[in-house]
C-alpha cells in the first residue's frame, strides 16, 4: 500500500496474477514480440553500430538541449508554425484549450501521444466541454473502457479479443459475442472514419523533431495521425522537449531502430513528416518540459531522456510480462517508466524501481543503450536514503545487510535456513510469506557451498 492509501505495484500485480491464464498469455505475447525484435535486429549486421550511433546522437542532444530547442523554435516559426512552451502538464492543457476555444471548437481527434496521457489532457478538456477521441485503435479501446494504456506501443495488450468484442457490442452496437479481430477492426475503422471526416481540430504526438529543419515526424501503423491531421483546420503537435534530434540525416538511424525494437517490423508503416501548414490551416507546436529539465539535472538519471519510447524494455522485462502494465500506476510503465516516474514524484512512485529483477535484459535490448537496470538500482538507493522505502522493506534490507556483512552471521543464517526448509518447510511455504506467492520454493541443499568446497577443494584430494 502506498502512503496515499492507493495500491502499490506489488498489490496491483497481485490482482493481475489472480487470472493465471491471462498472465501466461500476456507473458507469451510479449515474449513473442521480443523474439521478433531479436530476429529483426539480427538481420542487420550493423545493429550494434546503429545503437551506438543513436546513443551518441542523443548524448549530444541532451548536452546541448537548449541550443537545439531554440534552433527548432526558429525553424518552426520560419515554416509558419506557432510555437508554445509549457513548463508543466497544466500549462500544456491550458494551451491546447485556449487554441480550441479561440476557434470555438468543441471536438478534437487525437493520435497516439503518451505525453497527453501524462498530462491527462482528455479529462481536462472533457471538464471544459470538449470531446476528444483517441484514434489509435488500441488507445480507442482503452478510452471506451475508461482505462489508461497499459503499454506505450500496445495500449490494450492485456485485453482478450472477447473482452474487446464485449466493449464494441456495448459502445458500437456490434453483434453480441463477436470477437473476430478482423471484423472488429472493420467496425472501428468505419466508426473512426466518420470522426476523421467531421472533426476540425487534430492533435498528434511527436516521435522525432528535427532542429535543423523545423519539421517533425510521427510514426504510426494505422495512418491515423495522417488522417486526423490532413483533414483538420487546426493541427496541434505536443512534444516532450527531449524528442529533438539535430539533423535530418539522423532520422535514418532512429527510424531503423524504432520499429525493429518495438514490434520487430523493418519500419513503421507510416513515418509522416509535418513541416508547414497547408493553405488555410493553422499549425501549433507545444514544447513541454513537465519535469524533463529536472531529470536533466540528475546526473545519474539524465540518460533516461534518450528514450525513444519503443517499448522493447517492457516486452523483455520478466516483471512487466508477469504483472501487466497497469500495475505500474503510471503513464509510462515498465522499466523505463520506473525510472521516469520517481523524477515526477519520488514519494508516490517509490515502489516502482523495486519492481525489477535487475537482470539487465532491458538495458540489453534498449536501442539507445540506456543503462536502465543501473538507474533502477540507483533510484532504490536514493529512495531508501530519502526515507521513502516501505518500513518492512527498509527493515528487511537492514537485516540482510547485517547478515551479508559478517561471515559468522551469514554462515549461521544459511544453516538455519537449510534446517527450516528441511524440517519445517511450512514456516516458509505459506501464504503469509510474500516470496512464496506464485513460486515453488526449492528443496534446501544438504550443505552450503563453503562446506562443499572445504570437502572437495583440490589440495585435499
> What are the residues binding ligand SF4 (CB under 6 A)?
261, 307-313, 336, 365-368, 370, 372
- CA separation for the pair 423, 274 (Å, rounded): 69
Residue number with CB closer to ligand SF4 (198 or 357): 357
Residue number with CB closer to ligand SF4 (139 or 242): 242
What φ, ψ does residue 246 adopt, rounded to 5°?
-65, -50
Residue number with CB closer to ligand SF4 (53 or 184): 53
Q: How far is the CB of 301 from ligand SF4 (least distance, A)?
A: 12
Sequence-distant (≥ 6) Cβ neighbours of residue 423 within 8 angstroms:
none
Q: How far is the CB of 151 from ligand SF4 (least distance, A)?
A: 10
CB-CB contact of 89 with 120 (8 Å): yes
Q: How far is the CB of 215 from ligand SF4 (least distance, A)?
A: 22
Kindly tell me the number of DSSP H helices and DSSP E strands found in the chain. Answer: 21, 10
Distances in Å between the Cα of 240 and the Cα atoms of 45, 57, 206 are 32, 17, 8
Q: How far is the CB of 281 from ligand SF4 (least distance, A)?
A: 32
Residue number with CB closer to ligand SF4 (340 or 389): 340
CB-CB contact of 108 with 248 (8 Å): no
Segments in 317-435 forming alpha helices (H): 318-323, 334-344, 361-365, 372-385, 391-404, 407-423
Q: Which residue has the cell 505475447?
A: 29
Segments in 173-325 forming alpha helices (H): 181-198, 224-231, 251-263, 292-296, 312-316, 318-323
Residue number with CB closer to ligand SF4 (109 or 336): 336
Residue number with CB closer to ligand SF4 (184 or 338): 338
- CA separation for the pair 93, 308 (Å, rounded): 23
Residue number with CB closer to ligand SF4 (188 or 344): 344
Q: How far is the CB of 336 from ligand SF4 (least distance, A)?
A: 4
Q: How far is the CB of 27 from ligand SF4 (least distance, A)?
A: 18
- β-pairing, 215-220 vs 270-274, is antiparallel
DSSP 239: E
Q: How far is the CB of 381 from ligand SF4 (least distance, A)?
A: 20
- CA separation for the pair 67, 77 (Å, rounded): 16
Residue number with CB closer to ligand SF4 (116 or 207): 207
CB atoms within 10 A of CB 145: 16
Q: How far is the CB of 254 from ligand SF4 (least distance, A)?
A: 10
Residue number with CB closer to ligand SF4 (184 or 372): 372
- β-pairing, 107-110 vs 208-210, is unpaired
Q: How far is the CB of 328 from ligand SF4 (least distance, A)?
A: 13
Amino acid at each position: 500500500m502506498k502512503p496515499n492509501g492507493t495500491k502499490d505495484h506489488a498489490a496491483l500485480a497481485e490482482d493481475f496474477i489472480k487470472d493465471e491464464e491471462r498472465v501466461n498469455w500476456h507473458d507469451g505475447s510479449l515474449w513473442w514480440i521480443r523474439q521478433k525484435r531479436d530476429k529483426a535486429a539480427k538481420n542487420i549486421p550493423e545493429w550494434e553500430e546503429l545503437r551506438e550511433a543513436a546513443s551518441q546522437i542523443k548524448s549530444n542532444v541532451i548536452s546541448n538541449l537548449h541550443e537545439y530547442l531554440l534552433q527548432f523554435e526558429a525553424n518552426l516559426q520560419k515554416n509558419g508554425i506557432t510555437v508554445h512552451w509549457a513548463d508543466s502538464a497544466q500549462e500544456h492543457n491550458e494551451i491546447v484549450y485556449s487554441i480550441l476555444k479561440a476557434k470555438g471548437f468543441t471536438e478534437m481527434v487525437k493520435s497516439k501521444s503518451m505525453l497527453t496521457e501524462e498530462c491527462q489532457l482528455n479529462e481536462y478538456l472533457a471538464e471544459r466541454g470538449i470531446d476528444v477521441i483517441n484514434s489509435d485503435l488500441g488507445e480507442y479501446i482503452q478510452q471506451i473502457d475508461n482505462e489508461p494504456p497499459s503499454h506505450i506501443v500496445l495500449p490494450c495488450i492485456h485485453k482478450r479479443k472477447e473482452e474487446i468484442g464485449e466493449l464494441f457490442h456495448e459502445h458500437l452496437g456490434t453483434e453480441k459475442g463477436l470477437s473476430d479481430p478482423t471484423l472488429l477492426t472493420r467496425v472501428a475503422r468505419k466508426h473512426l472514419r466518420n470522426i476523421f471526416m467531421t472533426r476540425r481540430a487534430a492533435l498528434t504526438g511527436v516521435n522525432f523533431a528535427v532542429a535543423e529543419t523545423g519539421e517533425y515526424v510521427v510514426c504510426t501503423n494505422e495512418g491515423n495521425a495522417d488522417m486526423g491531421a490532413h483533414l483538420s483546420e487546426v493541427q496541434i503537435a505536443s512534444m516532450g522537449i527531449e524528442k529533438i534530434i539535430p539533423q535530418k540525416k539522423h532520422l535514418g538511424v532512429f527510424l531503423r531502430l524504432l520499429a525493429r525494437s518495438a514490434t520487430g517490423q523493418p519500419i513503421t508503416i507510416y513515418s509522416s513528416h509535418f513541416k508547414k501548414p497547408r493553405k488555410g490551416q493553422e499549425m501549433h507546436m507545444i514544447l513541454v518540459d513537465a519535469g524533463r529539465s529536472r531529470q536533466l539535472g540528475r546526473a545519474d538519471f539524465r540518460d533516461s531522456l534518450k528514450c525513444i519510447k519503443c517499448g522493447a524494455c517492457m516486452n523483455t522485462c520478466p516483471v512487466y510480462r508477469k504483472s501487466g502494465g497497469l500495475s505500474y500506476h503510471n503513464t509510462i510503465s515498465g522499466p523505463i517508466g520506473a525510472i521516469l516516474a520517481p523524477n515526477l514524484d519520488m514519494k508516490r512512485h517509490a515502489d516502482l524501481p523495486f519492481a525489477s529483477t535487475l537482470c539487465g535484459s532491458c538495458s540489453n535490448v534498449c536501442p539507445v543503450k540506456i543503462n536502465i537496470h543501473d538507474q533502477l538500482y540507483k533510484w532504490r538507493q536514493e529512495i531508501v536514503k530519502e526515507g521513502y522505502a516501505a518500513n518492512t522493506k527498509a527493515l528487511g534490507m537492514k537485516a540482510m545487510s547485517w547478515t551479508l556483512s559478517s561471515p559468522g552471521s551469514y554462515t549461521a543464517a544459511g544453516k538455519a535456513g537449510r534446517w527450516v526448509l528441511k524440517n519445517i518447510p511450512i514456516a516458509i511455504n505459506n501464504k503469509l510469506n510474500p516470496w512464496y506467492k506464485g513460486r515453488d520454493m526449492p528443496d534446501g541443499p544438504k550443505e552450503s557451498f563453503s562446506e562443499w568446497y572445504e570437502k572437495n577443494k583440490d589440495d585435499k584430494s
